[in-house]
Amino acid sequence: DEIKSRFFHLQISLEMESPFKPEILKGKVALLTGGASGIGLEISTQFGKHGASIAIMGRRKTIVDSAVSSLQSLGIPAVGFAGDVRNQKDAKRVVESTIERYGKLDILVNAAAGNFLVSPEDLSPNGFRTVMDIDSVGTFTMCHEALNYLKKGAAGRSSDSGGIILNISATLHYTAAWYQIHVAAAKAAVDAITRNLALEWGTDYDIRVNGIAPGPISDTPGMRKLGPDEIKSKSREVMPLFKLGEKWDIAMAAIYLASDTGKYVNGTTLIVDGGLWLSRPRH
């Protein structure tokens, strides 16, 4: 049994090794909202392991601090700033603090999100607005405040290319999702922001703007909130790959989009869900 379990761990760690060169993001500076937990923390960690310096923005200082310590313990340059993406002053302060610390900004990842399950009849307009404010307006606000530093030729940046924006979205608005009207509306807006900025800021400033739409990913706040038991039993029947995704899967997609491997990809939201959103029961 012990040998079996050792093999199992070996297999996991082999599977989890990155196929990218460890220096693929060398010298890059990345700022991640929601970067202290869940998918955001995994992207922070993998970006750091691939050479990037990391700045994390999150509402809860203790969680931000512990994420920063865990990155630093891996030898990753990391700094954390408490702030709420709903507050434009926080957004501005955090972007400016990142510049003060590292001298430039290359990659902005918008991973902060709000979520809870509620039927439309029980959802107050303020509850709807709250999730729109975090996911949609928050994403726009961060992009808006970061623009001057992401432009081609901005201070500290090499003059031959602009920066990168990555927006974490979802697939639930491609069809419809029970008890998620606020999140579906908010993520639809995020995808529109991704496309419109890709067009306008790609053209004017050489900034690439893309998104990632994760499916059900194990060990995340989203999965804990959205009923893991149901996903494991019912949804598995219609899940093409018959398994949940891992945070690692999203982080690898993020490295692809944020590095030169994705240099001609602009305005797309990459679905990383094992094919779940388009699946149907066999009969």
Which residues form the interface with ligand HXC (CB under 6 A)? 113-116, 118, 123-124, 126-127, 130-131, 170, 172, 183, 221-222, 225-226
Q: How far is the CB of 170 from ligand HXC (least distance, A)?
A: 4
Q: How far is the CB of 51 from ligand HXC (least distance, A)?
A: 27
C-beta closer to ligand HXC: residue 38 or 51: 38
CB of 232 to ligand HXC, least distance (A): 15
Least distance from C-beta 126 to ligand HXC, angstroms? 3
Query: Could you tell me the smallest distance in angstroms from the CB atom of residue 33 to ligand HXC?
Result: 11
Smaller CB distance to ligand HXC: residue 25 or 123? Answer: 123
Q: Which is nearer to ligand HXC, 97 or 130 (CB)?
A: 130
Q: Give min distance, CB of 66 to ligand HXC, in A.
A: 17
Query: Closest CB to ligand HXC among 164 and 170?
Result: 170
CB nearer to ligand HXC: pick between 136 and 259: 136
Of 56 and 131, CB closest to ligand HXC: 131
> What's the chain look like in SS3?
CHHHHHHHHHHHHHHCCCCCCCCCCCCCEEEEECCCCHHHHHHHHHHHHCCCEEEEEECCHHHHHHHHHHHHHCCCCEEEEECCCCCHHHHHHHHHHHHHHHCCCCEEEECCCCCCCCCCCCCCHHHHHHHHHHHHHHHHHHHHHHHHHHCCCCCCCCCCCCCEEEEECCCCCCCCCCCCHHHHHHHHHHHHHHHHHHHHHHHHHCCEEEEEEECCECCCHHHHHCCHHHHHHCHHHHCCCCCCECHHHHHHHHHHHHCHHHCCCCCCEEEECCCHHHCCCCC
> What is the smallest separation between the CB atom of 139 and ligand HXC, expressed in angstroms?
12
Residue with Cβ nearer ligand HXC (18 or 115): 115
CA distance 207 to 215: 26
- Environment class of 4 (CB within 10 Å of its CB; exposed 0-12, middle 13-18, buried 19+): exposed
Gap between the Cα atoms of 104 and 100, Å rounded: 8
Rounded Cα gap, residues 149 and 95, in angstroms: 9
Query: Least separation, in Å, of the C-beta of 94 and ligand HXC?
Result: 18
Q: Which is nearer to ligand HXC, 22 or 275 (CB)?
A: 275
> What phi and psi, each to the nearest 5 degrees, are found at residue 4?
-55, -45
